[in-house]
Amino acid sequence: MGVYLAMEQKYEQEIAAIITKVDANRQRFGARFPHLDREGRYENGLNDDGSWTGSFWTGMLAIAYQFSGNMAYLDELYRYLPVYRERLRSGYTDHDLGFLYQLYAVALYRITGQEVFRDLALEAADKLLARYNPNGKFIRAWGRPREDFRRGKIIIDCMMNLPLLYNASALTGDPKYRVAAYAHADNSRRYLLRSDATTFHTFDFDPDSGEPLGGRWHDGYAEDSVWSRGQAWGIYGFALSYAHTGDPLYLQAAERMAAYFVGQVSADGVPLWDFRLPPAAPQLKDTSAAAIAACGLFELASHGGEAAGKYEKQARELLHALFAYSAAADESKSGILACSYGRVNDTPSHLYSIWGDYFYFEALSRAAGHDWKMWS
């Protein structure tokens, strides 16, 4: 009982420290977006349009509002509305529309009930649906729709972008969004997942015939390696597709991927950035992979069944390992979670990342008994 209470207090302390940091960061960031920084000072490299990660910051604002009810967080979120609108009209858009508008437009429609956010979510869903290839039954990952380069490529990350489409069908009653999301999830399960439950980062199809061509790498160490963040995207993404569809094949995919991930985590509880690194490769951690996987495991636990207790225990173990990397109480930094893996000028590096911070905050929320339904 004492250990349980101590952990509950630790969750609450970390959450309180993160909310305090969110308050400070509101002043630092204005209506711009954090992304990455080696030293945890995002204000040194803010961007105007959100890149692919902007919604992780606004998602943190939305979680802080749900914890506190403080209208200042909603006021801050309204400040970003013109940016999100303009991104759809003139900015670069790819499959990460799902990240950007699920954690902003859908989340704010759920919180406020205001039609402006519903309309924005559906406009983004239409843009994402335009990337659907009906021949291959997949959502193209990168590039503008009229560009030929990478026209037949999918990536495991996109599993986390599908909730925007599932939710668009729920909001409108029109099945077309759900049909595309379901088809993409099914092809991701069939082709991105290897027989040993690891994932390719990318897979190529012939964009005209839809014929599957083969798995490839982009992030990760090599063609046959296992990028740990990609594995985490798959765990959470397939678990969410199960939540939206009830298809047991997605639950099985998430469970198999989770078993591999947990079995490969290093002794300190935080994975290396790739699970198949040769000795000569940079032996760097990726705390963001652990935070994403923890959220996926909490999602698996939420669906009950005999394994629910196991998944919750595994999620908490990953989360507890991340405490040693937390700068939540460090007032000199705007970042929270150290040692996300990334590349700076093509050099492998440990970084602070806003996506690592977001998923750490979400995982802490779930551990403390609050599921804010950010993906539904």
Is residue 243 in a domain? yes
Structure tokens at 289: 């992979």
Query: Is 233 annotated as ligand-binding?
Result: yes
Ligand-binding site membership of 157 (annotated)? yes
Considering the domain boundaries, does residue 374 fall inside one?
Answer: no
Q: Do the domain assignments include residue 73?
A: yes
State residue 145's pLDDT score: 80
- Helix or strand holding residue 353 (H, E): strand 347-353
Q: Which of 37, 94, 157, 357 is catalytic?
A: 157
Sole residue written with tokens 């460090």: 330
How many CB atoms neighbour CB 90 within 10 A? Answer: 9
Are 11 and 368 a contacting pair, CB within 8 Å?
A: yes
Average pLDDT (248-260) is: 98
Tokens of 303: 């669906």
- Residue labelled with tokens 């990168």: 142
337 and 353 in contact (C-beta within 8 Å)? yes
227 is in an annotated binding site: no
Q: Is 142 marked as a binding-site residue?
A: no
The mean-pLDDT minimum among 73-87, 175-189, 341-355 falls in 341-355
286 catalytically annotated:
no
**Is 375 within the bounds of a domain?**
no
| pLDDT tens digits, one per residue of 281-324 | 999 999 999 999 999 999 999 999 999 999 999 999 999 999 99
State the total domains in the chain: 1
pTM over 0.85: yes
pLDDT at site 148: 82
Identify the pLDDT of residue 232: 98
Quickly state the pLDDT bin for 1 (edges 50, 70, 90).
low
Q: Are 52 and 100 in contact (CB under 8 A)?
A: yes
- Written in H, E and C, the secondary structure of 73-99 is HHHHHHHCHHHHHHHHHHCCCCCCHHH
- What is the identity of the amino acid at 184? H
Decide if 290 is inside a domain.
yes
Q: Identify whether 96 is a catalytic site residue.
A: yes
Give domain status of residue 376, yes or no. no
Owning domain of residue 254: 2-367
Distance CA 357, CA 35 (A): 10
Tokens of 251: 């639950």
**360 and 291 in contact (C-beta within 8 Å)?**
yes
Coil, helix or strand for 41?
A: coil
Task: Output the domain CATH number for residue 25.
Answer: 1.50.10.10
Q: Quick one: pLDDT at residue 4?
A: 67
Amino acid identity for residue 179 in this structure:
V
pLDDT in tens, 131-153: 999 999 999 999 988 888 899 99
Helix, strand, coil % over all residues of the chain, rounded to 5:
55, 10, 35
> Which of 37, 94, 96, 274 is flagged as catalytic?
96
Helix axes 54-68, 2-29, angle to 10 degrees: 120
